[in-house]
Chain A
Amino acid sequence: MAIWIPYFIAIPIGAAFFIPLVSRHLRWAPDVLGNLVMLVLAGLSLLTFGQNAVYHMGAWQTPIGIDLRLDGLASLLLISINLIGLTSSFYSVAYMRQYTSKLRYYSLFLLMVAGMNGVVLAADLFNLYIFVELASIASYALVAFGCEHEELEAAFKYLILGSLATLFALIGISLIYGLTGSLNMAQVAGRLASTPSSTALLFALALLCTGFALKSALVPFHAWLPYAHPSAPAPISAMLSGVLIKAIGIYVLARLLFNVFGLTPLLQTVLQTLGVLSMVVGVLLAIGQWDMKRLFAYHSISQIGYVVLGLSLATPLGLIGALYHLFNHSIFKSLLFLNAGAVEYATGTRELRKLGGLRRLLPVTATTSLVGSLSIAGIPPFNGFWSKLIIIIACVQAEHYWLAGAAVFVSFMTLASFLKVQKYAFLETAKEKLQLLSKVPFSMGAAMVFLALMCLLTSLLVLTGLTHPFLITPAAEALQKGILVM
């Protein structure tokens, strides 16, 4: 397996530059090649399950060369990135016809995927930073893809805050290098464990936490997300909300705090505070929104709060709940954004007050969005219920009763705001002015149905054991092991 690891980065980067070369003459090339690459990557990512491997770039041994490391957590993230990527790129076949340049779109899309795969696999801090930048720069350009007023403004805001975040991370990484003289995660972890904690270390840690909390849009670092995510084209919103904030935000935070620095009670409190704040503030801001995508974007903040809360408990069950919720969220949030895109494609608006009666007009979109809404609100047969349940049980087990209460409260508020979406967009009778501009094309419908089925299928994971679900357990164990050893 180890020999395949670099292909997760090499294939999409290669394709990103190959597509513009060939598609000057072949109009079908971007669609076909883009989807083919994503299909290959999704297949490869499924093969990584259950594997542990280290790949030495150019056969240079560990302290000298660059390593790529695959473990349970990386494999879970790879599966979710590439599966959602495949669905989004299939959805784009029809959706991106509204925009001018498919070729640039697929190029940037594949660069973003390459960046995320790289972040997940990187075993040293500087390459982590480079891949974070790669994924971010592609996503800045994709948010601005429409070049309208809203998109440019949102993208500029995102660009400034995002590059500020990576700059903080860079300063943090250089301080860590100054303290330990190494960039390899395992080596850094080993050397930090034997040195006493100092002010410089705490400062570096604070910078890294700030940087990656900004990337994962935790409250109070969330200001860019509700602008950037709704302004992007729908499949990109799905990628951004579904996997980008996790791959370059939450994943990095978890990896650094658990596997490199070691989780201390202080850090646990910080994570807990960030998690609860995001959870509650996110949902309270979401419920008042009338723009469909904006409402979903605020819910991303709130659901990421759940993940961070689960991580902060650092108990086995908490970690499983957090990672399970991370995986589920990537599925149902992408589904919801794709739904919003389909609604906008068919009616020309995503303003809830102008919509209505879409259940009759767009049956596929309405049904899949019902599945997505029930999943995110935590209604039993769907995946969101199980992961939230595990997180709440973990809170009670750790005797944080008020945290469990907050989680339940946020779940109710989520349900309320998704009932609002269902009521205004899909159930009420249609407004007179509303007319269907076009039908939802096959590729968009198929992508949505696939994700809706995934919502049901991933809830079956819980059948393999509530405390040790299939697929999630190796990932949780990777975090549980504590700091890395060489």
Chain B
Amino acid sequence: MVYTLCFMLIAVGLYGILVKKNLVKIIIGFVIMEAGAHLLLILIGYRRGGEVPILEKGVAAIHFAQKSVDPVPQALVLTSIVIGLGILALMVAMAIRMYERFHTFDINELRRLKG
């Protein structure tokens, strides 16, 4: 169920990227899709009723392995969020440059390259 919602989020983002004509809306679509992907990644490491993956003193390793959630996806998602931020910054910077120059966010009006 949660996975389905996750893929729906990705699909909504994809729709935004493919269909919308406004640069800002395309960027928002991308952010939504990215959030969906990150959610999926974090869900893969989730365990119902699991514990925080920090090994404390006095906790047996075997108990830890059985109980804790997988820490690897959490590390991955952090990295991925940072990368996402970089891309978002670049996108917004480019959109601002285009707006300063042509005073529009509409890609139909911007389109000059053809063929």
Residues of A within 8 A of B (CB): 126, 130, 133, 137, 140-141, 144, 147, 149-150, 152-156, 159-160, 163-164, 167, 170-171, 174-175, 177-178, 183, 226-227, 289
Contacts and interface: CB of A to CB of B under 8 A. Distances in A.
Interface string B60-96: 0000000000001100100110010011001100110
Contacts of A149: 101-102, 112
Contacts of A177: 41, 44, 72-73, 76
B85 to A, nearest CB: 11
B106 to A, nearest CB: 12
Q: How large is the interface on B (under 10, 10 to 19, 20 to 34, 35 or more residues)?
A: 20 to 34
Given A156-B23, A163-B30, 9 more contacts: A137-B86, A137-B90, A159-B91, A160-B30, A164-B17, A174-B44, A175-B44, A178-B44, A227-B113
Nearest to B88: A163
Contacts of B23: 156
Interface of B is mostly: helix
Given A137-B90, A156-B23, A126 B95 contact: no
A359 to B, nearest CB: 28
Interface of B: 10, 14, 17, 23, 26, 30, 33-34, 37, 40-41, 44, 72-73, 76, 79-80, 83, 86-87, 90-91, 94-95, 97-98, 101-102, 110-113, 115
A170 B37 contact: yes
Contacts of A133: 83, 86-87
B80 A170 contact: yes
Contacts of B113: 150, 153-154, 227
Given A137-B86, A140-B90, A160-B30, A152 B37 contact: no
Residue in A133, A154, A227 with the greatest tally of chain B CB atoms within 10 Å: A133
19 contacts: A130-B79, A133-B87, A144-B97, A149-B112, A150-B113, A152-B97, A156-B95, A159-B87, A159-B91, A159-B94, A160-B17, A170-B37, A171-B10, A171-B37, A174-B73, A174-B76, A175-B44, A177-B72, A226-B115
A153 B91 contact: no
A174 B41 contact: yes
Contacts of A164: 14, 17, 30, 33
Given A130-B83, A153-B110, A174 B90 contact: no
B82 to A, nearest CB: 10
Nearest to B97: A152
B37 A174 contact: yes
